[in-house]
């Protein structure tokens, strides 16, 4: 029943907030007085069990005595709920007793813990346990052993055995839990430390044999000046609150002599609690289910933290901790009360902000355990067991907000979710998995122990000493933050799966978290958004790699060529099959073209189109436009007329230099009829040198205005870096309207070298390129990766002059350096990154020769580090610098940044910005910093797709596929009704590739189809033509999805087990993924158990099911292990299961 008066309610609340009733005003905010969420949850649970229909969210929304009194007055009383079974509460509220030795079911989280021990499970192979060490005075081993025996006898769950079929039974005490004694008193200091460390390492990562009833272990190390007590408990038997109970009881049992009266038995058991609980929770659970099923449609996934692709093999937990004490603790808690927030919600907000800074996505869920024992018995708080529930707390950091605004949003969401916690987080994950078609995890956890009291009671500390080390770990947990009261202080710690995070990431995150939490005692922290959490050491690395030498003076793009042309004389400048053009002659022809353009009124900076076939004439025309002071606009001769007109409308060019005369056209012959200008124009370096048109996302071409200054800055670095001089020759495989051509021409023409031009018609002929390299002595090849791949694939001799290859414009495969050096030993290799908007190239990675030159962690050759005058940033969605290993948008700044887009001020304002005096270009590319300051390219944002609720990075699918032996190139695409497929080129068989990918990718990223292509379609610039690939794949991939019937007995048996365990209405399709049917890790273990029993086989395991998540795939795998026996057994089982019940009875009677 509800309190009968406001005064009684006030007294109850005063007790919860540790205040005098007279100090609790009717309208005081109870959270400001120190009310914690856990205390409120317990109060709600108590009132509900008394039959009062009151919600957590209603109380949390109006946290005052007056509001609660009014709310309670309006709520009718009701009798406590029951389910009508025989398990009714008996005297003193005790549930009916049952046979202690009989098996009983696991609680939901217990089942998840049990299933997660299997190493086949994602983030599995880990025991859920708590491990603790005390250092204190000497302990009597015999007395400790007696105390442990009494403790195990008192708490049945400390002798619980988990059976193979996922149930539990209580074993007889029989001396279980006898402590292990390590006598280290006589060994050397060094040996003592080594053995203590070994004990810690072993026990803190131990998987107790729960199948034999080993859930609790105690050891003692005897030391010269005292003893160290080691305590380990598997959380399948005892949760964090129970850990407090068993430590207190262990101290009590140790404190009393063996002849002391036995401790009074507890009046209720964990088994009885599980049996009594469903009746009290059913109505609440139905409402909670409806709430979460509605929420599930838009619930985000787990944080996308940086994880290593290949762990160390052995799960390794790491504890990081700090304490809030004294004035610092008081300041933080006072600030929480001042803002009407609970300390738990505030610290959870700080945690979420830090997680968000290291997450690839700003919306995610955090798994929040709840300690909410239903008060089914007056002594239930003395029972050891797993009483934990959980909620999935949604965090949305998409938009900017002050810390206070964020904390209020988190608390509101937490209170709303906690009101519906009867449908637990495990059940929500199962629902999400059903919708996604695969298992969904929530491995980032926030555990608040505030308001649960001291972790260690006074007697335990007095007898056992100070707690010196503690750690917890659990299956399917990557990171667990915990806040606990210890010795009047607040212990804040993280338990991290260190083997799954890149080196230093856990420590960097925790350091940022510590700074943020400690800063909450200062009011200014609350009134502003959380700043970038980039660690200082990472910032220092970035500042170092972004600090470059002073740039040479800015000058026009054509300046160096004309300045050296006279001195270079007849030295080759342009080499073609038709002949050689010397520097002086090239300059003369260009100055004649410039004169002709000047006569036609071409003004400084005026755009002039160049629409000529590949060859020396193209080079003359480009230099002529620049010498006249104009801006050249390359237009390929194969451009469709409609696109040419759109480009003309944007560029505004009046003249085009073409092969044929016409209106607004002029031929090179006409222009060269003029006398040459005495010298080339020297325009302002800020004037546009060229206007290049790239394809826009809308299909409309974008005209990028690149100033002389930007292009020259890039060339100056590359010329210096690769010592380009008069003896060098480039091969112009890139089209003039592709910006790699700027390097091909001007890097050598300005230093007295020569450009070997590829004629029209040979731009797609790698045989011609090989001959040109060999016959004309090409020394430097600058091209996109696909063109080098095609060149190497010819097998032709490339001669001995090629000394440097520069690849850019697309992903650079890690196979290319080795393949190149097999053909051209000693040739330099570099991958370069950049965009048209940042003048050709902006970054470089030199790939050395020999073993180890290619890092095995590279998915492709990284973008690298910036060229001189270039700066790089990787930023999150709010423009804050992202920490190492965290994906973000790549910004390129500095000397190479273009003016913007011709005639498109809105797009220019969106993509180009100025911050702190530096101009930046927002590339739209996804990248991340590595710890050495190298930037790694991850793909275009456009290459990210969402399938079944999961974000899929197509580049990651491509990298995993390309790593399969025999795959030369892979392109991932989405076709049809959201079907993920991958096209491959090479010698590998598609079935072989398909079989390899489940071991390299998470299930949601495994392509549904692998399609082999004879060749990869390329664009005119030599890049992969993704549209053409998508079309080719779509022709050969049919979008399935119809239910497929079983073909043979084994499939029918397995399908029936799936349908029964998953409670699926109707037959299960043999090609429908398990998780699309609502499966999860817990239910997989049930399936495995039933199939083992039904088919009398050990061939099936959770690992097998996860690796083969359809009935058909699983049956193929099982047949491969026991090809004849399983089919025979299945035939018998199938025949029996197809009989009616009376037919089975008759068959048995006949026998």
pLDDT band at 85 (very low <50, low <70, confident <90, very high): very low
Q: Report how far residue 804's alpha carbon sits from residue 408's, in angstroms, rounded to the nearest whole number.
A: 58
- Candidates 936, 937, 934; CA nearest to 546 is 934
Tokens read off for 211? 């199948």
Whether 910 shows a pLDDT value over 50: the answer reads yes
pLDDT band at 66 (very low <50, low <70, confident <90, very high): confident
| Four-residue CA torsion sign, 518, 523, 527, 528 | negative
pLDDT band at 851 (very low <50, low <70, confident <90, very high): confident
pLDDT band at 1146 (very low <50, low <70, confident <90, very high): low
pLDDT digits 0-9 by tens, 636-683:
888 888 888 899 999 999 999 999 888 889 999 999 999 999 999 999
By mean pLDDT, which of 94-98, 754-758, 1041-1045, 1081-1085 is the weakest? 94-98
Range 546-568 average pLDDT:
89
Give, as one character, the DSSP assignment of residue 677.
Answer: P
* Secondary structure string (H, E, C) spanning 215-238: CEEEEEEEECCEEEEEEEEECCCC
More confident residue, 9 or 925: 925
pLDDT digits 0-9 by tens, 426-448:
889 988 887 777 788 999 999 99
Whether 561 shows a pLDDT value over 90: the answer reads yes
Kindly list the distances between the CA atom of residue 1080 and the CA atoms of 364, 431, 476, 879, 997, in Å, as whole numbers in the listed order. Answer: 20, 9, 12, 37, 21
pLDDT digits 0-9 by tens, 123-177:
888 889 999 999 998 899 999 999 999 999 999 999 999 987 788 999 998 767 7
By mean pLDDT, which of 282-286, 392-396, 510-514 is the weakest? 282-286
pLDDT digits 0-9 by tens, 173-219:
876 778 999 999 999 999 999 999 999 999 998 899 999 999 999 99
More confident residue, 1019 or 347: 347
Whether 418 shows a pLDDT value over 50: the answer reads yes
Whether 415 shows a pLDDT value over 80: the answer reads yes
Query: For 94, what's the count of Cα atoms within 13 Å in the CB-facing half-sphere?
Result: 11
Q: Report how far residue 19's alpha carbon sits from residue 10's, in angstroms, rounded to the nearest whole number.
A: 10
What pLDDT shows up at residue 93? 41
What pLDDT shows up at residue 949? 57
Range 1049-1074 average pLDDT:
84
Give the number of other CB atoms < 10 A from CB of residue 680.
24
By mean pLDDT, which of 711-715, 1012-1016, 1140-1144 is the weakest? 1140-1144
By mean pLDDT, which of 334-338, 490-494, 984-988 is the weakest? 984-988
Whether 89 shows a pLDDT value over 70: the answer reads no
Whether 94 shows a pLDDT value over 70: the answer reads no
Whether 84 shows a pLDDT value over 60: the answer reads no
Among the ranges 285-289, 818-822, 852-856, which has the highest mean pLDDT value? Answer: 818-822
By mean pLDDT, which of 273-277, 323-327, 716-720, 916-920 is the weakest? 273-277
What pLDDT shows up at residue 80? 42
Percent of the chain clearing pLDDT 90 (strictly above): 54
- Candidates 337, 366, 328; CA nearest to 494 is 366
- Candidates 343, 350, 404; CA nearest to 513 is 350
What pLDDT shows up at residue 530? 95
Tell me the sheet residues that pair with 534. Answer: none
What pLDDT shows up at residue 916? 86
Dihedral angle, C-alpha 922, 928, 930, 932, nearest 10 °: 10
Three-state DSSP class for 919?
Answer: strand
More confident residue, 1032 or 208: 208
pLDDT digits 0-9 by tens, 926-957:
999 999 999 999 887 766 666 655 667 787 78
Q: Report how far residue 750's alpha carbon sits from residue 539's, in angstroms, rounded to the nearest whole number.
A: 37
Helix H or strand E segment including 369: strand 363-371
Give the number of other CB atoms < 10 A from CB of residue 99.
9
* Secondary structure string (H, E, C) spanning 605-642: CCEEEEECCCCHHHHHHHHHHHHCCCEEEECCCCCCHH
- Candidates 520, 513, 511; CA nearest to 538 is 511
Q: Give residues with Cβ within 8 angstroms of 336, minimum separation 6.
A: 342, 343, 346, 520
Q: Report how far residue 849's alpha carbon sits from residue 847's, in angstroms, rounded to the nearest whole number.
A: 7
Tell me the sheet residues that pair with 872. Answer: 892
What pLDDT shows up at residue 87? 35
Tokens 């105690």 -> residue: 218
What pLDDT shows up at residue 1090? 87
What pLDDT shows up at residue 154? 93
More confident residue, 704 or 12: 704
Q: Report how far residue 821's alpha carbon sits from residue 812's, in angstroms, rounded to the nearest whole number.
A: 15
Three-state DSSP class for 1122?
Answer: coil
pLDDT digits 0-9 by tens, 48-58:
666 666 666 66
By mean pLDDT, which of 184-198, 271-285, 292-306 is the weakest? 271-285
Q: Report how far residue 255's alpha carbon sits from residue 283's, in angstroms, rounded to the nearest whole number.
A: 45
Whether 463 shows a pLDDT value over 70: the answer reads yes
1117-1121: long-range contacts, CB 8 A cutoff, minimum separation 24: 1118/1050, 1118/1054, 1119/1050
What pLDDT shows up at residue 796? 93
Q: Are 145 and 179 in contact (CB under 8 A)?
A: yes
What pLDDT shows up at residue 124? 84
Identify each DSSP E strand in 745-791 by its residue range.
754-757, 780-783
Tokens 């009829």 -> residue: 673
DSSP string, 928-986: EE-TTS-EEEEEEGGGEEEETTEEEEHHHHHHHHHTSTTEEEEEEEEETTTEEEEEEEE
Q: How many helices (H) and strands (E) does the chain have?
A: 36, 40
In this prediction the pTM is 0.82
pLDDT digits 0-9 by tens, 472-514:
888 999 999 999 988 889 999 999 999 999 999 999 999 999 9
Helix H or strand E segment including 466: strand 466-473
- Domains in the chain, please, with CATH? 6-74 (1.10.1200.10), 109-270 (3.30.559.10), 315-528 (3.30.559.30), 559-908 (3.40.50.12780), 948-1036 (3.30.300.30), 1049-1150 (1.10.1200.10)
Q: What is the CA angle 779-784-785, rounded to 5?
A: 95
Give, as one character, the DSSP assignment of residue 77.
Answer: B
Q: Are 502 and 306 in contact (CB under 8 A)?
A: yes
Q: Report how far residue 113's alpha carbon sits from residue 509's, in angstroms, rounded to the nearest whole number.
A: 26
Kindly list the distances between the CA atom of residue 441 and the CA atoms of 205, 305, 945, 1128, in Å, as whole numbers in the listed order. Answer: 22, 13, 20, 37
Range 1111-1116 average pLDDT:
89
Identify each DSSP E strand in 1043-1100 by its residue range.
none
């Amino acid at each position: 029943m509800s309190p009968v008066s406001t005064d009684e309610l006030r007294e109850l609340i005063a007790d919860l907030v540790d205040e005098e009733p007279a100090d609790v005003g009717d309208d005081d905010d109870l959270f400001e007085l120190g009310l914690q969420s856990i205390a409120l949850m317990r109060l709600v649970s108590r009132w509900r069990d008394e039959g009062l229909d009151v919600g957590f969210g209603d109380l949390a929304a109006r946290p005052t005595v007056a509001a609660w009194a009014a709310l309670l007055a309006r709520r009718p009383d009701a009798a406590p709920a029951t389910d009508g079974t025989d398990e009714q509460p008996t005297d003193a509220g005790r549930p009916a007793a049952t046979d202690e030795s009989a098996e009983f079911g696991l609680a939901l989280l217990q089942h998840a813990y049990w299933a997660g021990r299997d190493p086949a499970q994602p983030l599995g192979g880990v025991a859920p346990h708590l491990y603790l060490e005390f250092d204190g005075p000497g302990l009597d081993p015999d007395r400790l052993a007696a105390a442990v025996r009494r403790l195990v006898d008192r708490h049945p769950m400390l002798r619980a055995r988990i059976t193979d079929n996922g149930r539990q039974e209580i074993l007889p005490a029989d001396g279980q839990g006898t402590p292990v004694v390590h006598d280290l008193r006589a060994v050397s200091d060094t040996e003592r430390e080594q053995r203590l460390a070994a004990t810690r390492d072993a026990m803190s990562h131990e998987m107790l044999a729960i199948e034999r009833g080993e859930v609790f272990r105690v050891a003692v190390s005897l030391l010269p000046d005292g003893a160290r007590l080691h305590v380990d408990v598997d959380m399948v038997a005892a949760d964090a609150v129970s850990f407090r109970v068993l430590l207190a009881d262990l101290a009590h049992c140790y404190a009393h002599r063996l002849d002391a009266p036995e401790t009074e038995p507890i009046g209720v058991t964990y088994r009885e609690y599980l049996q009594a609980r469903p009746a009290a929770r059913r109505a609440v659970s139905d409402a909670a289910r409806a709430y979460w099923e509605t929420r599930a449609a838009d619930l985000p996934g787990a944080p996308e933290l940086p994880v290593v692709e290949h762990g160390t093999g052995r799960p390794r937990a790491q504890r990081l901790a700090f304490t809030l004490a004294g004035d610092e603790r008081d300041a933080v808690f006072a600030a929480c009360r001042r803002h009407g927030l609970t300390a738990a919600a505030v610290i959870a907000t700080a945690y979420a902000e830090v997680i968000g800074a290291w997450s690839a996505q700003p919306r995610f869920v955090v798994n929040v355990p709840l300690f909410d024992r239903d008060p089914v018995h007056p002594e239930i708080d003395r029972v050891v067991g797993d009483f934990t529930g959980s909620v999935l707390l949604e965090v949305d950091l998409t938009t900017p907000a002050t810390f206070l605004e964020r904390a209020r949003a988190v608390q509101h969401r937490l209170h709303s979710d906690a009101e519906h916690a009867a449908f637990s987080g495990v059940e929500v994950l199962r629902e999400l998995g059903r919708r996604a078609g695969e298992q969904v995890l929530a491995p980032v956890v926030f555990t608040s122990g505030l308001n649960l009291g001291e972790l260690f009671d006074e007697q335990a500390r007095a007898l056992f000493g100070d707690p010196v080390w503690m750690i917890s770990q659990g299956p399917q947990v990557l990171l667990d933050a915990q806040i606990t009261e210890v010795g009047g202080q607040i212990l804040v710690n993280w338990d991290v799966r260190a083997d799954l995070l890149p080196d230093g990431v856990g420590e960097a995150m925790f350091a940022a978290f510590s700074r943020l939490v400690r800063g909450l005692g200062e009011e200014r922290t609350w009134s502003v958004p959380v700043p970038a959490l980039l660690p200082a050491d990472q910032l220092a690395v970035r500042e170092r790699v972004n600090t470059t030498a002073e740039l040479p003076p800015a000058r026009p793009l054509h300046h160096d060529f004309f300045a050296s042309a006279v001195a270079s004389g007849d030295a080759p400048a342009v080499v073609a099959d038709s002949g050689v053009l010397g520097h002086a002659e090239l300059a003369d022809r260009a100055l004649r073209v410039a004169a002709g353009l000047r006569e036609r009124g071409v003004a400084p900076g005026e755009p002039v189109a160049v629409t000529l076939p590949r060859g020396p004439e193209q080079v003359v025309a480009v230099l002529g436009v620049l010498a006249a002071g104009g801006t050249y606009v390359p237009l390929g001769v194969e451009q469709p007329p409609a696109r040419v007109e759109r480009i003309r409308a944007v560029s505004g060019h009046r003249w085009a230099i073409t092969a044929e005369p016409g209106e607004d056209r002029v031929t090179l012959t006409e222009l060269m009829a003029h006398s040459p200008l005495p010298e080339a124009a020297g325009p302002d370096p800020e004037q546009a040198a060229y206007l290049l048109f790239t394809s826009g996302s809308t299909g409309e071409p974008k005209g990028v205005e690149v100033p002389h200054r930007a292009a020259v800055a890039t060339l100056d670095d590359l010329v210096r870096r690769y010592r380009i001089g008069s003896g060098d020759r480039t091969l112009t495989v890139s089209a003039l309207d592709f910006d790699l051509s700027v390097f091909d021409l001007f890097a050598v023409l300005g230093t007295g070298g020569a450009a070997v031009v590829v004629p029209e018609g040979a731009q797609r002929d790698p045989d011609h390129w090989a001959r040109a390299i060999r016959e004309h002595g090409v020394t430097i090849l600058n091209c996109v990766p696909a063109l080098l791949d095609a060149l190497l694939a010819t097998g032709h001799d490339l001669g001995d002059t090629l000394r440097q290859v520069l690849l850019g414009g697309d992903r650079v495969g890690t196979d290319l350096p080795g393949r190149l050096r097999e053909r051209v030993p000693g040739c330099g290799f570099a991958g370069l990154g950049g965009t048209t908007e940042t003048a050709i190239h902006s970054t470089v990675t030199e790939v050395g020769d020999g073993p180890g030159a290619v890092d095995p962690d590279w998915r492709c050759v990284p973008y690298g580090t910036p060229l001189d005058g270039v700066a790089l940033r990787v930023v999150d969605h709010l423009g804050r610098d992202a920490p190492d290993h965290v994906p973000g948008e790549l910004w390129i700044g500095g000397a190479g940044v273009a003016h913007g887009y011709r005639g498109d001020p809105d797009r220019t304002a969106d993509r180009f910005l100025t911050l702190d005096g530096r101009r930046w270009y927002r590339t739209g590319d996804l990248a991340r910093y590595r710890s050495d300051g190298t930037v790694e390219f991850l793909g275009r944002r456009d290459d990210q797709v969402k399938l079944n609720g999961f974000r899929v990075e197509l580049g990651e699918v491509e990298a995993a596929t390309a790593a399969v032996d025999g795959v030369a190139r892979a392109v991932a695409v989405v076709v049809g009704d959201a079907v993920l497929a991958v096209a491959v080129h090479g010698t590998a068989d598609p079935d072989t590739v398909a079989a390899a990918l489940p071991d390299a990718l998470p299930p949601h990223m495994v392509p549904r189809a692998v399609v082999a292509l004879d060749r990869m379609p390329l664009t005119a610039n030599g890049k992969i033509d993704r549209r053409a690939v998508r079309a080719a794949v779509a022709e050969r991939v049919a979008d399935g999805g119809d239910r497929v019937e079983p073909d043979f007995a084994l499939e029918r048996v397995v399908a029936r087990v799936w349908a029964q365990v998953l409670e699926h209405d109707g037959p299960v399709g043999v090609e429908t993924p398990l998780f699309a049917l609502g499966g999860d890790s817990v239910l997989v273990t049930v399936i495995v158990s039933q199939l083992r029993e039904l088919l009398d086989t050990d061939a099936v395991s959770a690992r097998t099911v996860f690796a083969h998540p359809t009935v058909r795939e699983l049956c193929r795998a099982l047949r491969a292990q026991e090809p004849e026996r399983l089919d025979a057994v299945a035939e018998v089982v199938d025949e029996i299961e197809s009989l009616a019940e009376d037919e089975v009875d008759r068959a048995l009677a006949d026998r």
